[in-house]
Amino acid sequence: MSEVRRDIVTDTWVIVETERDPAPDRGERAVRRPPACPFCAGNEAMTPPEIAAVRDRGGPDAPGWRVRVVPDRHPVLRIEGRLERVGVGIHDMVTGVGANEVVVEAPDHETSFAALKPGQVELILRTWRERLADLYRDQRFRYVIIFKDHGTMAGGTMIEHVHSQIIALPATPRRIKDQLAGARNYFEYKERCIFCDILQDELRSRDRVVVEGERFAVFTPYASRLPFELRVMPKRHRFSYAEAADEELAELAHTLPSVMAALDRALDAPPFNLVLHTAPNLLPQKGYWQTVRDDYHWFIEIIPRVRRTDGFEWGSGFFINPVPPERAAARLREVL
């Protein structure tokens, strides 16, 4: 079992894989390309048994599916076991309980999310919603992160078949805590959601708006850390992706691939990360997170990885962005 360790100074959590091959290595995770694609329809036996699927026909682990969710073959966290909080000298540790799932986003060997049809994307978005709601029923999990890594430069594996990943965590990540704390402070002062206010401000100035639909707006954040960073945000106040409405997901299924295609045109098919930011699991933490429903607001972050971060950024958490978000938004509007 991995250990989930806390940096007691900064309250940052790290999953330390204490069970890997003990040979000293360069720290690279296994990136061997498998002989056949384990995610293609027909190769279901190459993955662990499926957790969920959207299918037209057939039974579990057989062809006929359109979206398929399977456990990660090399999970960093284990679904079995008790969540225990342990003191290790001066340090804090939590046992490596959690979940690692892979969402295979198409039955054919498609490698680009931007190329998927809106109908297919809608099934993926609904699958994310259902997995999130299901995992949050487990009180051991404090946060569920849903993300996509596209391209090895963005940390992606050698498996190119379009997929996303889901990790259920026994602790709330630092960046989410920072967002929650900032949103809480603002709400206490203004009695308004800070994300709603930011969105209003963006829609008024329009300098950084890439596209606005009925239910979603896409913009480059004012303090973008990296060039062409994007936020896709529901216009109505919604604290959790688990409560996204069907009609919202239907619109999002058009918005997302078109924005991705614009990024591909503007930046020549860059590697990217896509991350869903949503509220933590409220079930086990009712007292502390009471106001999250009012003050948090889910969104999708898309980060093209066109430049490497340097020591300045790693060491300080202070970023240098050579492309003003206003210029990035203008360029994306141009190609859309």
The residue (of 161 and 331) whose beta carbon lies closer to a copy of itself is: 331
Which residues, 6 or more positions from 167, have their beta carbon under 8 angstroms from its beta carbon?
76, 77, 98, 99, 100, 101, 144, 145, 147
Using CA atoms, how far apart are residues 99 and 112, in angstroms rounded to an integer?
25
Catalytic: 163? yes
Report in angstroms the alpha-carbon separations of 162 from 83, 97, 108, 155, 262.
32, 27, 9, 14, 18
The residue (of 125 and 267) whose beta carbon lies closer to a copy of itself is: 267
The residue (of 205 and 290) whose beta carbon lies closer to a copy of itself is: 205
Q: How far is the CB of 61 from a copy of itself (least distance, A)?
A: 26
74 is in an annotated binding site: no
Using CA atoms, how far apart are residues 231 and 195, in angstroms rounded to an integer?
11
Q: How far is the CB of 22 from a copy of itself (least distance, A)?
A: 7
Q: Are strands 52-55 and 12-16 parallel, antiparallel or unpaired?
A: unpaired
The residue (of 54 and 93) whose beta carbon lies closer to a copy of itself is: 93
8 Å CB contact between 174 and 12: yes
Using CA atoms, how far apart are residues 160 and 139, in angstroms rounded to an integer?
33
91 is in an annotated binding site: no
Q: Are strands 99-104 and 91-95 parallel, antiparallel or unpaired?
A: unpaired
Q: How far is the CB of 325 from a copy of itself (least distance, A)?
A: 7
Q: How far is the CB of 164 from a copy of itself (least distance, A)?
A: 9
Which residues, 6 or more positions from 69, have their beta carbon under 8 angstroms from its beta carbon?
50, 51, 52, 53, 101, 102, 103, 104, 127, 131, 166
8 Å CB contact between 161 and 70: no
Q: How far is the CB of 12 from a copy of itself (least distance, A)?
A: 6
40 is in an annotated binding site: yes
8 Å CB contact between 50 and 131: no
Q: How far is the CB of 162 from a copy of itself (least distance, A)?
A: 14
The residue (of 55 and 186) whose beta carbon lies closer to a copy of itself is: 186
Quickly count: other Cβ atoms within 10 Å of residue 195's Cβ: 24
254 is in an annotated binding site: no
Using CA atoms, how far apart are residues 276 and 272, in angstroms rounded to an integer?
13
The residue (of 117 and 312) whose beta carbon lies closer to a copy of itself is: 312
**Which of the following is catalytic: 150, 163, 277, 297?**
163
Which positions make up the binding site for Zn(2+)?
A: 37, 40, 109, 161
Catalytic residues: 163
Annotated binding site: 37, 40, 109, 161
